[in-house]
Structure formats: structure tokens, C-alpha cells
Homo-oligomer: A and B are copies of this chain.
Amino acid sequence: MSKQELVVLGRDGVEGCCPALLAAPLDDGQAEALAKVFKALGDPVRLRLLSMIASRAGGEVCVCDLTPAFDLSQPTISHHLKLLKQAGLIGSERRGTWVYYRLLPEMTDRLAATLTRPAGQPLSEATPAGAAS
């Protein structure tokens, strides 16, 4: 079911590879899809969740290990995990009583590519450091 979500994101969402944020103007659909993913990253709790999941040796974290790391209720953590999952950033698997989350590196790779500017960027010709206020 959530695999489907990923497929959708891959199809009419962030699509083929990298929308190239910095190389050409995004069309409206690309912007909408990309914004959803960045919005998922735009919360400190979700960023910490993601980094805890991504940096865990073995690649998996049990929800039962994530929840007590925050001063938030269990439903709130569950909600944040759901948003990260809907953004295609993480996936989950139930094993017995417990649910394990893991990073889906395809999405972070895609975002990194999106934010990388093409070879010789025509910026800062006469703009050495922080000339623009």
C-alpha cells in the first residue's frame, strides 16, 4: 500500500531522475511534488527521526527505540513516521509485535542531486563571497 505511494511519487512526482532545481525553472507539477518531500523534512522532529533511522547500523530501527527518544506522545511519533513514509523517505516492516523503519536512500539521493548545481554555474562572476545582502 505504501509501496504504491512510492510509485506514485516516482511517476508523476519527482519522476525520472532529478528535476534539476538549479538548472531550469521547475514546472508546476514538479514543484508540487518536490515541495511535499521538502515539507516532510521541514520539521525538527522528523529530521531527528530520519537521522536516527538512517544512521543506525543494520539500517533498521524499531519504533520502540524511537519513541522514548522524544518528549512527545507515541501517537505523535507515529504521525511523523507516517509523513516521512508518505514522502518516500522511509519504509516500514512489521516483524511480530514490532515495526521496523529503514531509510529509502533512493529519495535522499534524488534530493541531493536536485540540489546539486550543474557543472559550471554562471553564478558569482562579480560576486566573490556574500556580496548580495
Query: Which A residues lie at the B interface, using CB under 8 A?
Result: 1-3, 6, 21-26, 28, 31-32, 34-36, 38-48, 50-52, 54-55, 57-59, 90-93, 101-105, 108-109, 111-113, 115-117, 121-125, 127, 130-133
**How far apart sit A55 and B24, CA to CA, in the bound complex (Å)?**
5
CB nearest to A47 among chain B residues: B31
**How far apart sit A101 and B42, CA to CA, in the bound complex (Å)?**
23
A25-B55, A91-B130, A130-B3 given; A38·B47 CB < 8 A: yes
Q: Which residues of B contact A109 (CB under 8 A)?
A: 115-117
Q: Which residues of B contact A45 (CB under 8 A)?
A: 31
B48 touches A43 (CB 8 A): no
The 7 closest A-B CB pairs, nearest first, are A91-B132, A39-B42, A38-B41, A31-B44, A112-B115, A22-B54, A38-B42
